[in-house]
Structure 1
Amino acid sequence: MINLYILLSFLAFSNHKKVEDKVIEHGKIRIEVKANVGARLNQLYFDNIPLLVSDKEQEEYYGSTWWPSPQRDWHWPPPKSIDEGAYHYKQSATSAKMTSSPLKTSDLRLTKGIEIINDHKVRFTYEAENIGKENKTFGHWEITRLAKGGRVIFPAGSAFGDAEFATFPGLLYFKKDKNTEKLINPSVDCFDIPIKKGCGTIPHTDKTKLLADGQDGWAAYLNDGILLVKSFENTEIDRLAPTQGEVELFVNPDLDFIELEEHGAYQTVAPEQTSTWTVDWYMYKYPSNMPQDAASIKAFVEKNIKVNNL
């Protein structure tokens, strides 16, 4: 009886995992989604190369997902129906649409759209519907977990965070000081942040998270010869959710991953209304004969990716 019970439990678990994993693929791109776990993007392959930290590497903190911003509204964990719940899943040849099933306590219904545009581009569309009875104020927030060992590049904005938030422990809010100056390449006005394997903080600091004002609407990560660029609407810092940055970088102090995040505008959405936000991901093999410095990476992005013509 014990052996039979173990066998049946294993088969049930295997079937559950099989149901969770959905696949969208076309050309050089293959996407794996866990529809029953927050419709989380578990892995994205470009030319058979995995780009994300998947559930094979991290049991809890893996893949890419969406949260409402700011975090101070819900602290931790994220809203369960959005981050962990099962989504209704509908797929076509090169795209999928997934809609959450809110709990009674939830006031947001989230629909995630994924579309493979071509061999180098995937579009993510987030539709957050206010299903509550009162106005809901929030911002869009995409969180993507990537392996350490690469380089984060994004254009630096000119706005600075307020001094009050800069005092929060563990955070490096964008302010002009000796720390942020070391993170910015002044010749191209870009954040240029190497992420060494095994590191536990933002380079040149004792902080684990950088919250910054970006510019031009893109942030890139170069790792193992693959360049991933996230392209989004540029948002001024005074239009963001309180205590957040337009581009955020989190370096996990204990585990082997970082989070490259971006935020949309903070807004008030009336009952039965929906806010839509789009982020495009571009993937390229970075030429081995090109330098891996901020100037070269920025030039490559601007040449190959039309971030201003979405």
Structure 2
Amino acid sequence: MTSLRAILSIIAVSLLIVSCGGGETGSEATEAIPAGPITLTGGPVSITVDPANGARITSYKYQDKEVLNQDQGNNGLMFGSTVWTGPQEDWGWPPPAAFDTKPYNVVKVRDNVYLFTSEVDPESELRLEKRVQMTEAGEVGLRYAVINESNKNVRVGAWENTRLPYGGRFEFPIGDTAWSKVDPLPLVIKDSTAVIFLDEQNTEPAKVYASLRDTAVRYVHEGLIFTKQTMITGKNQVAEGQAPLEIYFDPENGFSEYELHGGVYTLQPAQRAVMRVKWTLRKE
């Protein structure tokens, strides 16, 4: 029977907390496994994580139908789902290799639950943990922890970036603000729901920033609905210059980005900022 703790880790989606200490306790991390792509399956849904490639989520499928972008682009990185730290102005571009591309240590916590731990980024002196859990029903629980390994206070939050194909549409309960550097704003609003269509009307890259009225954001494409749930909704909860939801699209290069920010906190040494997100994938 699923434990209460396991249920709460899935239901308490995207709640950002700050707590002292390092990673998982030794009593939970029970089985070390060799590096290599790891696939978790629940019902018709599967998710694959590659510890050797920044613990990137490289595949997310309903039966045999892939929802994530698989075209790696010119730099070999514009695919799957990754995690960085916010605000972006702290590191510019590219993202810190310790988080985005370098190998992670991996530990099997129990069946369908894995913990991935990065190196310490030498510039920020931060470390990243990713905990991935799949339920029997096919719901994915993701917990990201940014850990301050320095001897000074650091203001930081987690940032999930999921690359998708260019196509379909995003739907989200828009909050009190949305903005972009392009005019007009590339979205339509119907009954308090904002919709961004990834179609031929868009000819140039653009990014939309938005606060949220509710916690569920949907991506609909080729008969599948990919939903993320987060409890961070307000612009004032995330890092300066960022938003709870960010959607980037690049028609020419054929991909889009489905981004959520966790809360931003001032971490003392050894403290962590934790972000929880729930993913579901089903037929339209």
TM-score bucket (shorter structure) = 0.7 to 0.9
Can you list the C-alpha shifts for 1:59-88, whole angstroms capped at 9, x where unaligned?
321100111111111100111111111101
- Identify the range of structure 1 (73-82 vs 94-103) with the bigger mean alpha-carbon deviation: 94-103
Cα distance change of structure 1 residues 99 and 240 upon mapping to structure 2, 3 Å threshold:
same
Cα distance change of structure 1 residues 130 and 111 upon mapping to structure 2, 3 Å threshold:
same
Q: Of 126, 134, 143, which residue of structure 2 is paired with 1:108?
A: 126
Shift of 1:121: 1.2
Contact 1:81 1:106 in 2 (8 A): no
2:232 and 2:247 map into 1 onto residues whose CA distance is: 17
Q: Any idea what SS the aligned residue of 2:236 has? A: helix
Q: Of 196, 217, 220, which residue of structure 2 is paired with 1:193?
A: 196
What does residue 303 of structure 1 align with? Answer: none
Q: Percent identity?
A: 28
Shift of 1:190: 1.2
Contact 2:45 2:63 in 1 (8 A): yes
What does residue 145 of structure 1 align with? Answer: 163
What does residue 49 of structure 2 align with? Answer: 33
2:259 and 2:123 map into 1 onto residues whose CA distance is: 26
Flag the structure with larger Rg: 1
Can you list the C-alpha shifts for 1:194-240, whole angstroms capped at 9, x where unaligned?
11269444xxxxx6111111221121100001000010013311222
TM-score, normalised via structure 2 length: 0.81
Q: Of 164, 178, 184, which residue of structure 2 is paired with 1:179?
A: 184
1:249 and 1:103 map into 2 onto residues whose CA distance is: 26
- Identify the range of structure 1 (41-50 vs 52-61) with the bigger mean alpha-carbon deviation: 52-61
Structure with the larger helix share: 1
Structure 2, unmatched stretches of 5+, are 1-33
TM-score, normalised via structure 1 length: 0.74
Q: Where does 1:1-310 land on structure 2 (aligned, <5 Å)?
A: 19-54=35-70, 59-91=76-108, 92-159=110-177, 171-172=181-182, 179-180=184-185, 183-186=187-190, 188-196=191-199, 199-201=202-204, 208-286=206-284
Contact 1:156 1:184 in 2 (8 A): no
Write the letter of the residue equivalent to 2:199.
Answer: K
2:120 and 2:79 map into 1 onto residues whose CA distance is: 22
Higher relative contact order (CA 8 A, sep 6+): 2
Contact 1:212 1:247 in 2 (8 A): yes
2:51 and 2:200 map into 1 onto residues whose CA distance is: 31
Runs of 4+ deviating beyond 3 Å: 55-58, 103-106, 197-201
Q: Any idea what SS the aligned residue of 1:213 has? A: strand
Q: In the comparison of the two structures, how many residue pairs are matched?
A: 249
Aligned CA RMSD, in angstroms, stands at 2.2
What does residue 300 of structure 1 align with? Answer: none
Cα distance change of structure 1 residues 147 and 160 upon mapping to structure 2, 3 Å threshold:
closer
Cα distance change of structure 1 residues 104 and 248 upon mapping to structure 2, 3 Å threshold:
closer
1:225 and 1:55 map into 2 onto residues whose CA distance is: 20
What does residue 9 of structure 2 align with? Answer: none
1:118 and 1:196 map into 2 onto residues whose CA distance is: 35
What does residue 295 of structure 1 align with? Answer: none
Structure 1, unmatched stretches of 5+, are 1-17, 173-177, 202-206, 287-310
